[in-house]
Amino acid sequence: MCETPPTKLEVAMFTLCEVFHKYATLEGRKDTLSKAEAKLLLEKEMPRLFKAAQGNEEGEKILEALDIDKSGEMEFKEFMLAVSCLTCICQSACCSKQ
Ligand SMILES: [Ca+2]
């Protein structure tokens, strides 16, 4: 067993798993996000992004785009791809300010 405290990156990885699981288990399949679960996750965990998408059709388009295999449910791999893409956009925005 590792005795050192988890690193920031390890905490971030565990947090991603926990957040996905928290919302995926709310209804239906426990290992995927329905559209309602994905919307709630966006609203609660990515409020800035959610706010930016409100008031137009972008929110629905984003959710549809994230459902890569068009199953109607977002799997963990699709969630991670979405978070990775959004993180890259954030990183680009941060770097362009320097
Ligand atoms: Ca679910």
Q: How many angstroms separate the alpha carbon of residue 58 from the centre of ligand 1? A: 22
What structural domains and CATH numbers belong to the chain? 10-83 (1.10.238.10)
SS (H, E, C) 34-93: CHHHHHHHHHHHCHHHHHHHCCCCHHHHHHHHHCCCCCCCEEHHHHHHHHHHHHHHHHHH
Neighbours of ion ligand 1 (CB under 5 A): 24, 28-29
How much is the pLDDT for 69? 79
pTM passes above 0.85: no
Q: What is the predicted pLDDT for the residue at 41?
A: 92
31 C-alpha to ligand 1 centroid (Å):
6
pLDDT digit string (tens) for the chain, length 98 residues: 678 999 999 999 999 999 999 999 999 999 999 989 988 998 899 888 777 666 667 666 666 677 777 888 999 999 998 888 878 877 877 777 66
Complete DSSP assignment for 11-40: HHHHHHHHHHHHHHTSSS-TTEE-HHHHHH
pLDDT value for 94: 73
Report d(CA 75, CA 11) in Å as an integer: 21
